Structure 1
Amino acid sequence: MSYPFFVHGQRSWLWLATLCALPCAATPGIAATVVTLPRVDISTAEEDASVADSLLNAAVVDKSSARMSRLSSPDASSLFRNQPGFSSYGGGRLANLPVLNGMADDRVATVVDGVRINPACPNHMNPALSYIDPDSVETATSVAGLTSVSNGGDSLGGTIDVERADPRFARHGKILFTGRARGTYRSNGGGYSAAGSMTVANDTFSLRYNASYDQSEDYSGGGGIGKVGSTEYLRYTHDVTFGVHKKNHLLVLTFGQQDAPREGFANQYMDMTNNRSTYVNGKYVGDFNWGTLEARGHWQRVNHAMNMLDDKGGHSATKGMPMNDDQRSAGYSIKATIPLARQHTLRLGSSFDHEGLKDWWPPLEGSMMMGPGTFNNINNGHRDRLGHFAEWEAQWTPRVSTLLGFRNDLVMMNTGNVSPYSWTGMMSAADIKAAQEFNSIKHGRTDVNFDVTALTRWKTTDSLTIEAGYARKSRAPNLYERYAWGQGAMSSKMIGWFGDGNGYIGNPNLKSEVGNTASITFDWHDPTSAQRWGLKVQPYYTYVHNYINVRFVKALSATTNQYMFENHNAQMYGINTSGHFTLWNTSRYGKGEVTGVLNWVRGQDKVSHTGLYQQMPLNGTLGLNETVGPWTGRAEMNFVKAKNTVDSLRNEPRTPGYALLNLNGSYNWKMMTLTAGIDNVLNQRYYMPLGGILTSDIKTSRTPMPGMGRSFNVSLSATF
């Protein structure tokens, strides 16, 4: 495989980058739901892989779909589109929040390069997947529903894990110099992206430099909606990876920095006006006589700022509302894999994650409401999680295997005293009282959680494998769910990652969520090595004790309300289906394959008796892939049913159903690849079911977030 070299600068440099951009390199995937670029089917090829690393509630994103995702969006979450059980939401085009089986955001364990990254923002504008560009992703793993305890804790819905490539080394006595580059243009919004990397290595040491640049103006909605304000973005990243390889040992250190000077959020009152992340990650992998040891360590600092961009009228120093966050995180993880016998494997692990957060809102010059002092929202808060797990995998017969795991997570949280903008005056009366009450109580909280996963895989025939199991998963509240104390109309509206315009108040007495999931997966597949067809069907049911939802506090206006986070009981059930079938495979006409995905989920709050918020309606994708020599192409239809089951307590908007046609194709010659595509070919008008509402219309209506209209995209890539 080749790795990219750096292309960065103004728009003229971006056009030069399109002359030498990079193709997707083939990478075999061995983990559950590995987004392998390009696709490597695992339906039969990986049946000998471990159960923990190849769960059947998994799907591998095919080459054409992955290429279309990278061409269409600079958001790494787009790599998971069209996968069973996956959806996403958010108003920022670089920062969509993942949803697995109806559970979103913090309920999904999102890991980047072995690091569990928590958003450092009261609106979650900087989620974990926003810290890596799609071109840097070598493998991306998502496991919806049942997950092994070795894949993480403190989550309910599943795990998403993306990784950069390990360093590349030369043969003994040789010097390796390789790289790649990619440039992309997207017509809707006038978006540009460039990414590249360069590697120099011998047989022991490897040094790689990687960088990317992404920029776009506001996009236009489909069906003549026109420009959708606060949808622009700008981001650039740099990282250096140093690797040492000696016999059966690998040591990797990555130093990086990402800057996002601006990103608009159409469904929030605020925009992101700066986000700088500086980080160091380390990884060690060693093979020993007793087994394999993997150890990781990380440190990261995030400086985050919010205000209003020009679309919201916040350009002047005396307008808008400045909000700042300073987050420091650090931690380690250790995992040992020990073969006990030919049929038994033991995995043991330990991890620690520290999150320190200071969230403060400086006074605004000349404002009676936002001043004269500083609003301290989270004052030196911290959330520390110490976890341990043990997992036993057994191969009882050639056709029957089991996985049993236990995990304990100790979550310790605390924060300091807080303060409103002013301790006097009627304008701050609600926040003054709330601050006094908050400061009068003990803030420290400790949650002791444990998880269990038990499943059985049975290869009933050469063409049918069944995997059934149960999982008990736990999640402690995040810092904002527990410590966001402001009860004024304005201060509470600044809290919330739902894009609904409402206000939210934290609750220090929240308990940890406990989810109990039962699931069964039927995997029918071609028994031959040709893998001409395959079908997976996965029904599931989850009951959550102490699900963190909300209770109504008061109306703030004709269109917005105020809520307090509160523990309820809830249930989610659904079915994920995916399949593929080879229509033809000849030397003359190449290979043609039809693929399909169908997802359905329903969530219900057992206390308020409403639908759960932001549940995706019935949706699916039907695609036709063709490969003829150096040419590959894909035609894709996305179908989404009307969203009529909503959370009426939070005034969640209903959205009409829609169907979108997308086309994509690429041609590869020598070291260059040209890729082009059209998103939303018919320029269909549609509204995103999980996109929240346009805050620009919040005073008069609750208009759902419009989807993007037609876009012509082109990318040129090269390797050397």
Structure 2
Amino acid sequence: MKTLYSVLLCALITAMSFGQEQTETQKDTTKQKINTLDEVLITGNLKKDPVLTIVANNYEKDIVQPKNVADLFNDINGLSVIKRGNYAIDPSFRASQYEQLNIQYDGGTKAMHACPNRMDPITTHIIPEEIAKIEIIKGPYTVRYGATFGGVVNLVTQKPDYEDYGLHGKVSSGYESNGDALVNLAQLQYIQEKYDIVANVGYRDFGNYEDGNAIEIPSSFRSTDYGIKIGYNLSEDERLQAHWRQSFGRDVLHAALPMDTEYDNSSILALDYKLDNIGEIAKSLTAKAYYSYVDHLMTNDNRPSFMMMEAVSAVEATTIGGKLELNWKPAEKLNVFSGLDAMHIARDGGRTRLVKVMNGSPLPMPMTFNDKVWQDSYITDLGVFTEAKYTINAKNIFTVGVRYDNVTSDIKDPEADFAALYKLEKRTEHNVSGTVSIKNRVSDRFTLEAAFGRGVRSANMIERFINHFTVGQDPYEYLGNPNLKAEVNNQFEIGFKGNEPLENGFNSFKYETSFYYSSFENYIVGVVDPTITRKFMPMAQPKYVKVFQNIDEAYKTGFEAMAQVDFLKDYYFRTEFAYVYAKNKDLGESLPLTPPLSTKLSLGFQKEKFWANIKYNLISKQDNISKSFGETETDGYQTLDIRFGVKPIKSITLGIAVINALDEAYNSHLNFSFTNQANFGRTPITEPGRNFSAFLQYKF
């Protein structure tokens, strides 16, 4: 660690020296019109933006401590995280998660996980410091960005600063006391009239953290990442861009999963093209193509089960996709987006088991077994869409969209028992989704939005093809079902937001809220099948397996609300609420992974050179649970976070923070339970206790 600090210090001193030399050189202030790519979905344009959206950004100020991926979502109202350790973290929005959320980078790039236990979700393949902002479309209210069931999450990466030509960059470092964690990042960008280059490299080293009871939680990991983005302006109206990045995870401990990650290597390549100002009717053409590959190895070498059985699993996932979209205006008030997109996901790999003990007795000669994990399966989604926005008047925008998806799936190397259970053949599904919405800007200070969306999601590869693997929150073996119907989300929502001026030392009052209701068709859950017994360790409990099935009746409803008062010019007080209620009417219980009522109270000030805030988080008890999913009731808890940041000079940002300052011992309702861990029972994993952190960034 001392070596890393020395290297970073040298890099910082060198960068400062270089930055001083640059400031002494006269910069080229010539500005060219840059044809920006459609990597940002929400731009502040009333006539183009989707309805009912959230934008979160400026993490350098709002999150000053070193960040793992969870920190990008924890402060967004309505968003929670599903945690299996300190690395395998999935976002959840309004009790929608996994493939129910359309998660992507830069307006369409995807990288699907290779591990059936989601040790490597899409959010692990990019470093948080590279994210400029997060955009969320709250439901299936657009058809332009792929099949969408519960909403779109767009992670927008840093782009060049086109206002300043020449060589620039930044270096940053952060430290966390709880887990002795170190985060480093270096970024360079070179901007010229015709082309631009952005390159970055990052290193993260997190140790095991301690919870509020001073119990060490196995959660350490290391990762190294680098990326390069190259853009070329063919003309003022034409741009081509390539983005290549790789991530290398090492020695990752998963407290709530049966195995640990030895390595997780991912590669992502994305190509983007845009042609603007085509003609009177055809306005712009955009194209995207991407490729990602994930190579994942997991073992149980350091787990209690190793004494009875050695397990090594090597799996891989390939994702290939693209999109072509034409923006055209057949009439002055009508703005239309038409196009097609494609995504192909292929997975393969297996698990090798060396069984040393069988039925409680040591074997004189250990036996080797090979299990097919993904059975060489694939899913291909070909979609076509049209979305039209009609400007009724200067204050009202009406949107309607329709989408068709042709989904093909197949399993090319099935296990004998899986093939005996189902009639396996290539399957094609035809999904139709759509949306209609209206945005009414009542005044400059008040906006009203209403939307209906029908989102359709075909079953993912786990739900179709997993064969007797433990992939849930409970100890059941799960069995896929290749005949599942597609899930349908019929979602209605109304929302409004406003900003009112105040007097007597109070600057303004901001508010925002939305209410929604979703009626589900063919919702997919795992249901115990008493006719099928477990395949591995047949003497263990539970005896029977869960098979993925469609249920007939389910729904959810909820709201998010925010209110903020700005006072004394630079100070603010904000409160946020998020609540969702979900019901599985077939089983008479909640849908799984439904977060409890969340309340956040923030007090802070924001000046140009320094800022601070105190955030009090109140999470209610969750007793509306899914017992069939293995959930238990979760007690409520409160945490307090304190952050302070300062810019002593223009190019330097310093930050310190105390997270969970009260050293609360707690677990989130969405946390998975300890699995195959020495000295831990099957209870939900606990969160970090008090954590001091520091952050330093230098820009030049």
Q: What TM-score range do you get, normalising by the shorter chain?
A: 0.7 to 0.9
Q: How does 1:52-131 map to 2 (within 5 A)?
A: 52-55=48-51, 57-61=52-56, 63=58, 67-69=61-63, 71-75=65-69, 77-113=70-106, 114-131=108-125
Partner of 1:619: 598
Q: Are 2:166 and 1:176 aligned?
A: yes
Q: Are 2:561 and 1:582 aligned?
A: no
Q: Distance in 2 between matches of 1:560 and 1:10?
A: 50
Q: 1:93 to 1:471 in 2, by over 3 A?
A: same
* Structure 1: gaps spanning 5 or more residues: 1-6, 23-27, 35-41, 420-431, 487-491, 586-590
Cα-to-partner distance string for 1:210-247 (whole Å, 9 max, x where unaligned): 1111111111001x241012x11111111122210131
Q: Are 2:210 and 1:220 aligned?
A: yes
Q: How does 1:188-587 map to 2 (within 5 A)?
A: 188-222=178-212, 224-229=213-218, 231-245=219-233, 246-288=235-277, 289=279, 290-308=282-300, 310=302, 312-313=303-304, 320-364=310-354, 371-419=367-415, 434-435=417-418, 437-438=420-421, 441-486=423-468, 492-493=469-470, 496=471, 498-526=472-500, 532-553=508-529, 562-568=545-551, 569-585=553-569
- Check whether the contact 1:70–1:135 (CA below 8 A) recurs between aligned residues: no
Q: Distance in 1 between matches of 2:541 and 2:368?
A: 30
Q: 1:436 to 1:453 in 2, by over 3 A?
A: closer
Cα-to-partner distance string for 1:141-177 (whole Å, 9 max, x where unaligned): 1122242111331x31101011223345587xxx611
Q: Distance in 2 between matches of 1:696 and 1:714?
A: 34
Within the candidate set 628, 632, 636, 1:653 is matched to 632
Q: Distance in 1 between matches of 2:357 and 2:413?
A: 24
Q: Distance in 2 between matches of 1:411 and 1:13?
A: 50
Where 1:695 maps in the other structure, the secondary structure is: coil
How far apart are residue 17 of structure 1 and its match?
Answer: 6.2
Cα-to-partner distance string for 1:283-340 (whole Å, 9 max, x where unaligned): 1122123312211111122111111353x25889x95411111222212111222233
Q: Are 2:624 and 1:641 aligned?
A: no
- Check whether the contact 1:542–1:572 (CA below 8 A) recurs between aligned residues: yes
Q: Distance in 2 between matches of 1:474 and 1:600?
A: 24
Q: Are 2:164 and 1:166 aligned?
A: no
Q: 1:413 to 1:11 in 2, by over 3 A?
A: farther
- Check whether the contact 2:639–2:662 (CA below 8 A) recurs between aligned residues: yes
Within the candidate set 650, 659, 683, 2:663 is matched to 683
Q: 1:247 to 1:140 in 2, by over 3 A?
A: same
For residue 124 of structure 1, what is the amino acid of its counterpart? R
How far apart are residue 485 of structure 1 and its match?
Answer: 2.3
Q: 1:138 to 1:601 in 2, by over 3 A?
A: same
How far apart are residue 708 of structure 1 and its match?
Answer: 0.9
* Structure 2: gaps spanning 5 or more residues: 17-35, 360-365, 535-539
Q: Distance in 2 between matches of 1:92 and 1:131?
A: 16
Q: RMSD in angstroms over aligned alpha carbons?
A: 3.0
Q: Distance in 2 between matches of 1:100 and 1:538?
A: 14
Within the candidate set 564, 574, 577, 1:595 is matched to 574
- Check whether the contact 1:359–1:379 (CA below 8 A) recurs between aligned residues: yes
Where 1:59 maps in the other structure, the secondary structure is: strand
- Check whether the contact 1:484–1:505 (CA below 8 A) recurs between aligned residues: yes
Question: How many residue pairs are counted as aligned between the two chains?
Answer: 658
Q: Distance in 1 between matches of 2:231 and 2:547?
A: 48
Where 1:379 maps in the other structure, the secondary structure is: coil
Partner of 1:489: none
Partner of 1:706: 686
- Check whether the contact 2:136–2:153 (CA below 8 A) recurs between aligned residues: yes
TM-score, structure 2 length as denominator? Answer: 0.88
Q: Distance in 2 between matches of 1:262 and 1:18?
A: 29
Q: 1:673 to 1:506 in 2, by over 3 A?
A: same
For residue 61 of structure 1, what is the amino acid of its counterpart? A
- Check whether the contact 1:31–1:141 (CA below 8 A) recurs between aligned residues: no
Q: Distance in 2 between matches of 1:633 and 1:209?
A: 31
Q: 1:395 to 1:685 in 2, by over 3 A?
A: same
- Check whether the contact 2:293–2:318 (CA below 8 A) recurs between aligned residues: yes
For residue 49 of structure 2, what is the amino acid of its counterpart? D
Q: Distance in 1 between matches of 2:516 and 2:72?
A: 24
Q: 1:447 to 1:262 in 2, by over 3 A?
A: farther
- Check whether the contact 2:227–2:246 (CA below 8 A) recurs between aligned residues: yes
Partner of 1:429: none
Q: Distance in 1 between matches of 2:527 and 2:519?
A: 20
- Check whether the contact 1:17–1:182 (CA below 8 A) recurs between aligned residues: no
Q: 1:277 to 1:701 in 2, by over 3 A?
A: closer
Per residue, is there more strand in 1 or in 2?
A: 2
Q: Are 2:41 and 1:49 aligned?
A: no
Within the candidate set 665, 674, 687, 1:694 is matched to 674
Q: 1:566 to 1:123 in 2, by over 3 A?
A: same
How far apart are residue 268 of structure 1 and its match?
Answer: 1.0
Partner of 1:422: none
- Check whether the contact 1:626–1:633 (CA below 8 A) recurs between aligned residues: yes
TM-score, structure 1 length as denominator? Answer: 0.85
How far apart are residue 373 of structure 1 and its match?
Answer: 4.2
Partner of 2:650: 670
For residue 161 of structure 1, what is the amino acid of its counterpart? N
Q: Distance in 1 between matches of 2:176 and 2:662?
A: 16
Mean Cα displacement is larger for which, 359-368 or 470-479?
359-368
- Check whether the contact 1:20–1:182 (CA below 8 A) recurs between aligned residues: no
How far apart are residue 262 of structure 1 and its match?
Answer: 2.4
Where 1:268 maps in the other structure, the secondary structure is: coil
Where 2:84 maps in the other structure, the secondary structure is: coil
For residue 173 of structure 2, what is the amino acid of its counterpart? G
For residue 692 of structure 1, what is the amino acid of its counterpart? F
For residue 415 of structure 1, what is the amino acid of its counterpart? I
For residue 155 of structure 2, what is the amino acid of its counterpart? V
For residue 423 of structure 2, what is the amino acid of its counterpart? I
Residue identity over aligned pairs, in percent, reads: 20
